[in-house]
Amino acid sequence: MIRYGLVAVLGHLILFTGVFLLVEIFNLPESLSYFIIITFDYAIVYVLNLKFVFKSNFSAGNAVKYLVYLFSSWLVNNLFFILMTDILNIYYIISLVINVLLFSLIKYFIQKEIIFKEQ
């Protein structure tokens, strides 16, 4: 759980920093910035979780499960972010925090019990 926490912190730093830079420096819309960075973030977190957290070997089965999880999680995260920022007009940084708090533990258990679980 500690290794997962370290990877999660790194992922959240990438997420917050990346979205902030794209919005504040490059003037991209919040939703587009979130879309770009969360996609990049998921790829990095997958590799770190595979090798460092769960110490699992790459397998086609795990990759397929992760891709299904990735797409589902990515879709829910993006839709929730859009709901909060574009519809409810919640400041994008607060929306990021809410998203992180709501989905972090859920993501851990899905990855631990389904994706990287040893057969």
pLDDT tens string 26-75: 999 999 999 999 889 988 988 888 888 877 777 777 778 888 888 898 89
Average pLDDT over residues 70-85: 91
Which token pair is 101? 């708090």
Q: For CA atoms 15, 17, 20, 22, give the dihedral sign.
A: negative
Greater pLDDT, 10 or 116:
10
Q: Which domain, by its residues, includes 62?
A: 2-115
Count how many domains the chain has. Answer: 1
Percent of all residues in the chain with a pLDDT value above 90, rounded to a whole number: 46
**Exposed, middle or buried by CB within 10 Å (0-12, 13-18, 19+), for 115?**
buried
Is 6 a residue whose pLDDT tops 70? yes
Q: What is the pLDDT of residue 29?
A: 95
What global pTM score does this model have?
A: 0.74
Query: Is the model's pLDDT at 118 over the cut of 80?
Result: no
Dihedral in degrees, nearest 10, Cα atoms 89, 12, 98, 79: 60
